[in-house]
């Protein structure tokens, strides 16, 4: 399959926001932001900046023509600060000038008198003070207290998982171009066309039909462009007020310092097992480090909350979760959307429990895998469970017992280096947990020459969703792939689109496309039967770009069919809508069916740890992933590989450091992401065979996010190696950087 986007990427011809030729008279915007984590704005003087060379305007909250709000879930995030600031990097004023350099020079002339106030940077401290977003969530399944009393083994402790920078290639940016009658068109690097469209209209104080948001593709998103609308609404406001095009683009360090991250979490866990290693009870408390504004944090916490049992059957459980309001930039969505953080705790708890029992962790995991008929803690009775099938396929490919024995033999023979391994099963619910977001529209136009244009709400950001939508359209219509083009994501063609996230892009938009193409196909078949005077209309078919009557044909080409249909006044345009059926969830009882289906997987990760230096290598990763009936095996394999590598980075080397005052210390030169040299020498990916999924388009399964969980294998394998050297410490925090590994090996014992 020829992937047009991929070809353009490697040739350097893909067009991103910065590649759009700047319109005549285009201005450049930069933000003046808070230098303190929390404070009261006593005075703000922008007069000197406004008079600086090349400056067209300086705007404060007083100049916002509409609603001064970009809060995603709650209205708690002003576009421009009013009388207080809640984090370093919070926008206070907007400078617009002839060039970005002139705007940045003018920033230095702004005088802000801000009285610093006490700030909170610990999620546990925030929770203790009642500084939370939304409500504390809690669910009890079964009778955990009685079950713990029957447990032979109980593993209990505290855990920590750190933040992660999205590090997309294309930083936050937008180009806003005003039009006639107070209309505006915005080209943006954004994942949420519907939500951002709404934010734009609210901030500008105009109806949504006067705003057009157009998105060709993103230079990566990973969730970091799903919810925070500051960098899109700010230049749009300036363009609207000045009646001139305005562009805003963050520098890399500016992007890292002011944008949200993957949420760090802190945990209290307690896992109880019987003498045979079967889970009897589990308790987990989640403290989410959300940041100063809610942004999308409560929704991320909700996904963590629903996935704390991982891929295991847990009959008795208590889970609580709280989104903690702290004075750092508001964190946001990131690939996995809270599922990696929720899954992390039970995977680490198994490591602890296995030590208590003196058995390999993978043996305990295998005994507790989900099976058909099991009921999840929120009331869903499972069917078509492929957890055990993925595990067995992995075992058949790798020989898990033999790999464990080989590692043990190596460790007995070596003192300076140690081998560690881990097996990670995956169970990932697919759908937006917010039921209302599980909808999509598609517009399909067939032109008189037989070419086809498809418009959906899906945003292409490197994951191949446009390629999959082309495949669905071509397959459904029965025409060559080359006849189909996927248009830009545009709010004037497909309104109110849900975000492209939660691994639902192809599921939702692909199904809407399929519905539209099916209606067009039926319409054309009816016309073809009349046009060809067929005795048996049911025998007419379209395939391989031609019209067939029974087995005879092609009697007419697709192109001639389209032209004849248009001449006969047959409608060659169709809009279709898809809403995932049978989804519901009650937040009060914490029961329901929030997901359409589940993606499963299993992986083996092996590492070698240098016990003197704390350095390590990831020797091998072997993955078996359930992708249903793959729409494109090449794309799905690429998504598995990319997700795993990104997960490896979160688990090992990616670390954000904050100063005591809340300032982000990590810049582009200090933030390390996995490169080609870090990728394991052996990296095997197998897509599970004979997996059916009637709950998604063409029996496929989501693939963008679930494989990220396999990256936890690096953390668990390193923990396995570290704990083989010393067990007088608690389980290490994530990520296990080489520095942390060194200190774990050579630092003081607990309590010293």
- For residues 159 and 729, give the distance between their C-alpha atoms in angstroms, rounded to a whole number: 12
Q: Is 470 within the bounds of a domain?
A: yes
Q: What is the CATH number of the domain that holds 514?
A: 3.30.365.10
Burial of 367 (C-beta count, 10 Å sphere; 0-12/13-18/19+): middle
102 and 183 housed in the same domain = yes
536 and 610 housed in the same domain = no
Angle (deg, nearest 10), helices 400-413 and 387-398: 50
603 and 475 housed in the same domain = no
The residue whose two tokens read 């099976």 is 371
Number of domains in the chain: 3
What is the token pair recorded at 541?
Answer: 């078919």
- For residues 51 and 44, give the distance between their C-alpha atoms in angstroms, rounded to a whole number: 15
What is the token pair recorded at 70?
Answer: 């970009």
18 to 14, 216, 218, 611: CA distances (angstroms): 11, 12, 11, 47
Q: Regarding beta strands 111-116 and 552-557, do their DSSP bridges make them parallel or antiparallel, or are they unpaired? A: unpaired
472 and 534 housed in the same domain = yes
What is the token pair recorded at 121?
Answer: 């940077």
Q: What is the pLDDT of residue 744?
A: 97
Q: What is the pTM of this model?
A: 0.97
542 and 657 housed in the same domain = no
562 and 668 housed in the same domain = no
Angle of CA points 385, 425, 376, to nearest 5°: 50
Q: Is 48 within the bounds of a domain?
A: yes
25: left (phi over 0), alpha (psi -120 to 50) or beta: left
197 and 172 housed in the same domain = yes
Q: What is the CATH number of the domain that holds 50?
A: 3.90.1170.50
The DSSP H or E segment spanning 201 is helix 193-204
CB count in 10 Å sphere of residue 481: 15
447 to 54, 450, 524: CA distances (angstroms): 48, 5, 13
Instruction: Provide the domain limits for residue 405.
Output: 264-433+587-746
Q: Is 694 within the bounds of a domain?
A: yes
What is the token pair recorded at 107?
Answer: 């920033």
What is the token pair recorded at 516?
Answer: 């539209």
Q: Is 73 within the bounds of a domain?
A: yes
CA 529, 531, 532, 534 torsion-angle sign: positive
Rounded to the nearest 5°, which phi and psi values hold at 301? -60, -40
What is the token pair recorded at 180?
Answer: 């006639």
596 and 701 housed in the same domain = yes
What is the token pair recorded at 240?
Answer: 């609207």
Q: What is the pLDDT of residue 513?
A: 98
Domain's final residue, options 228, 258, 288: 258
- For residues 178 and 244, give the distance between their C-alpha atoms in angstroms, rounded to a whole number: 6
40 and 54 housed in the same domain = yes
Q: Regarding beta strands 317-325 and 452-456, do their DSSP bridges make them parallel or antiparallel, or are they unpaired? A: unpaired
The single residue of 4, 522, 705, 750 carrying the catalytic annotation is 705
Active site residue 705: yes
Beta bridge partners of 44: 112
729 and 691 housed in the same domain = yes
- For residues 696 and 580, give the distance between their C-alpha atoms in angstroms, rounded to a whole number: 9
568 to 527, 538, 561, 565, 571: CA distances (angstroms): 9, 21, 10, 5, 9
Q: Is 149 within the bounds of a domain?
A: no
Contacting residues for 104 by C-beta, under 8 A, at least 6 apart: 30
Contact present, 457 and 441 (Cβ < 8 Å): yes
Q: What is the DSSP secondary-structure string of 443-473?
A: EEEE-TTS-EEEEES---SSS-HHHHHHHHH
Q: What is the pLDDT of residue 749?
A: 74
- For residues 225 and 259, give the distance between their C-alpha atoms in angstroms, rounded to a whole number: 10
User: Which of 443, 76, 60 is CA-nearest to residue 227?
Assistant: 76
- For residues 173 and 297, give the distance between their C-alpha atoms in angstroms, rounded to a whole number: 22
Q: Is 159 within the bounds of a domain?
A: no
Question: What does pLDDT average to over the chain?
Answer: 97
- For residues 529 and 548, give the distance between their C-alpha atoms in angstroms, rounded to a whole number: 10
Q: Is 599 within the bounds of a domain?
A: yes
Domain's final residue, options 556, 579, 602: 579
Q: Is 130 within the bounds of a domain?
A: no
Domain's final residue, options 579, 600, 634: 579
Contacting residues for 332 by C-beta, under 8 A, at least 6 apart: 223, 224, 226, 227, 228, 259, 260, 261, 295, 296, 297, 300
What is the token pair recorded at 186?
Answer: 């915005």
423 and 455 housed in the same domain = no
371 and 445 housed in the same domain = no
Contact present, 324 and 692 (Cβ < 8 Å): no
501 to 190, 221, 223, 438: CA distances (angstroms): 11, 10, 7, 11
Task: Give the CA-trace dihedral at 219, 34, 197, 430, to 10 degrees.
Answer: 60
The b-or-e profile of 250-285 (16+ CB within 10 A means b, else e) is beeebbbbbbbbbbbbbbbbbbbbeeebebbbbbbb
Low-confidence ranges of the chain (pLDDT < 70): 1-2, 750-752
């Amino acid at each position: 399959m020829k992937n047009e986007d991929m070809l353009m990427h490697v040739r350097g011809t893909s067009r991103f926001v910065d590649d759009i030729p700047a319109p005549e008279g285009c201005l450049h915007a930069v933000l003046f932001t808070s230098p303190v984590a929390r404070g009261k704005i006593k005075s703000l003087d922008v007069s000197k900046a406004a008079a600086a060379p090349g400056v067209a305007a300086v705007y404060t909250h007083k100049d916002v023509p509409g609603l001064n709000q970009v809060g995603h879930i709650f209205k708690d995030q002003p576009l421009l600060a009013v009388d207080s600031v809640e984090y370093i990097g919070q926008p206070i004023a907007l400078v617009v000038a002839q060039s970005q350099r002139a705007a940045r020079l003018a920033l230095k002339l702004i005088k802000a008198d801000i009285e610093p106030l006490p700030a909170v940077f610990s999620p546990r401290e925030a929770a203790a003070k009642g500084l939370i977003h939304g409500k504390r969530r809690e669910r009890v399944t079964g009778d955990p207290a009685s079950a713990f009393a029957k447990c032979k083994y109980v593993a209990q402790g505290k855990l920590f998982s750190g933040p992660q920078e999205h590090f997309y290639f294309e930083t936050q940016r937008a180009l806003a171009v005003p039009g006639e009658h107070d209309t505006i068109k915005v080209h943006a690097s954004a994942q949420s066309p519907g939500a951002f469209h709404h934010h734009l209209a609210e901030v500008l104080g105009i109806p949504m039909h006067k705003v057009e948001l157009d998105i060709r593709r993103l230079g990566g998103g990973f969730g970091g462009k799903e919810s925070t609308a500051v960098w899109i609404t700010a230049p749009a406001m300036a363009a609207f007020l000045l009646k001139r095009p305005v562009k805003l683009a963050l520098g890399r360090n500016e992007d890292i310092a002011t944008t949200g991250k993957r949420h760090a979490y802190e945990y209290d866990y307690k896992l109880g097992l019987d003498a045979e290693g079967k889970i009897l009870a589990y308790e987990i408390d989640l403290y989410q480090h959300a940041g100063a504004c809610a942004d999308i944090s409560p929704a991320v916490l909700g996904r963590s909350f629903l996935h704390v049992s991982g891929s295991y059957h847990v009959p008795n459980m208590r889970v609580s979760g709280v989104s903690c309001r702290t004075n750092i930039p508001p964190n946001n969505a990131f690939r996995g959307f809270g599922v990696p953080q929720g899954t992390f705790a039970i995977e680490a708890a198994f490591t602890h429990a296995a030590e208590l029992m003196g058995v390999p962790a993978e043996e305990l995991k295998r005994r507790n895998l989900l099976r058909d008929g099991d009921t999840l803690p929120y009331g869903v009775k499972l069917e078509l469970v492929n957890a055990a099938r993925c595990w067995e396929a992995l075992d058949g490919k790798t020989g898990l017992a033999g790999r464990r024995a080989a590692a043990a033999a190596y460790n007995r023979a070596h003192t300076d280096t140690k081998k560690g391994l881990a097996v990670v099963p995956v169970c990932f619910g697919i759908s937006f947990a917010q039921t209302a977001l599980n909808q999509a529209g598609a517009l399909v136009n067939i032109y008189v020459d037989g070419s086809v244009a498809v418009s959906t709400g899906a945003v292409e950001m490197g994951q191949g969703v446009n390629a999959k939508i082309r495949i669905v359209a071509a397959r459904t219509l029965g025409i060559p792939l080359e006849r189909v083009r996927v248009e830009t994501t545009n709010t004037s063609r497909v309104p109110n689109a849900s975000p492209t996230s939660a691994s639902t892009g192809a599921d939702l938009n692909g199904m809407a496309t399929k519905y539209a193409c099916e209606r067009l196909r039926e319409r054309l078949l009816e016309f073809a039967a009349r046009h060809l005077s067929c005795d048996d209309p049911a025998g007419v078919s379209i395939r391989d770009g031609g019209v067939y009557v029974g087995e005879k044909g092609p009697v007419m080409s697709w192109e001639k069919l389209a032209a004849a249909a248009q001449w006969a006044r047959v409608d060659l345009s169709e809009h279709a809508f898809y809403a995932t059926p049978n989804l519901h969830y009650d937040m009060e009882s914490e029961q329901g069916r929030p997901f359409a289906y589940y993606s499963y997987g299993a992986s083996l990760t092996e590492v070698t740890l240098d016990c003197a230096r704390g350095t390590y290598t990831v020797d091998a990763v072997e993955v078996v992933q359930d992708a249903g009936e793959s729409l494109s095996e090449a794309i799905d394999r690429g998504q598995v590989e990319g997700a795993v590598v990104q997960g490896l980075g979160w688990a090992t080397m990616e670390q954000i450091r904050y100063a005591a005052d809340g300032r982000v210390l990590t810049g582009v030169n200090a933030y390390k992401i996995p490169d080609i040299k870090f990728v394991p020498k052996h990296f095997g990916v197998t897509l599970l065979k004979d997996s059916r999924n009637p709950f998604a388009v063409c029996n496929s399964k989501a693939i963008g996010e679930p494989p990220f969980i396999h990256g936890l294998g690096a953390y668990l394998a390193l923990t396995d190696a570290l704990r083989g050297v010393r067990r007088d410490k608690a389980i290490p925090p994530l990520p296990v950087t080489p520095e942390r590994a060194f200190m774990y090996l050579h630092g003081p014992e607990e309590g010293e």
